[in-house]
């Protein structure tokens, strides 16, 4: 389009950007969908995402709050045991 008409791109350039990360590790540069933090290609489109009540992610329960806390407690016990062994070796 050639001509003397100046486009008003300010609203597009100042709109909030998508919060998704690309494969390169940089942020997505597309504008976010109004009221959401993602662009239409990264989950901001209507109907995107899992259905309400979907429990597929909880199939094995490895990422539940209780499982994460249990792993943290186990790591703390292992650290304590390693420190005790180091103290016994040095004395």
Residue 59 lies in a domain: no
The pLDDT score that the predictor gives to residue 22 is: 87
Helix ranges restricted to H, 5-64: 10-14
Residue 80 lies in a domain: yes
Domain membership of residue 24 as a residue range? 13-44+64-90
Indicate whether 82 belongs to any domain. Answer: yes
Give tens-digit pLDDT for 1-32.
566 778 888 887 888 999 898 889 998 998 98
CA distance 82 to 89: 11
Q: Using the structure block, give the residue that is written with the tokens 């990360």.
A: 21
pTM equals: 0.44
Nearest of 17, 7, 63, 62 to residue 44 by alpha carbon: 17
């Amino acid at each position: 389009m050639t001509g003397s008409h100046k486009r008003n791109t300010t609203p597009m350039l100042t709109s909030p950007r998508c919060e998704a990360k690309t494969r390169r590790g940089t942020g997505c540069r597309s504008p976010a969908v109004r009221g959401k933090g993602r662009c239409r290609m990264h989950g901001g489109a209507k109907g995107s995402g899992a259905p309400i009540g979907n429990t597929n992610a909880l199939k094995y329960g490895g990422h539940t709050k209780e499982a994460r806390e249990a792993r943290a407690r186990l790591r703390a016990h292992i650290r304590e045991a390693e420190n005790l062994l180091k103290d016994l070796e040095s004395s």
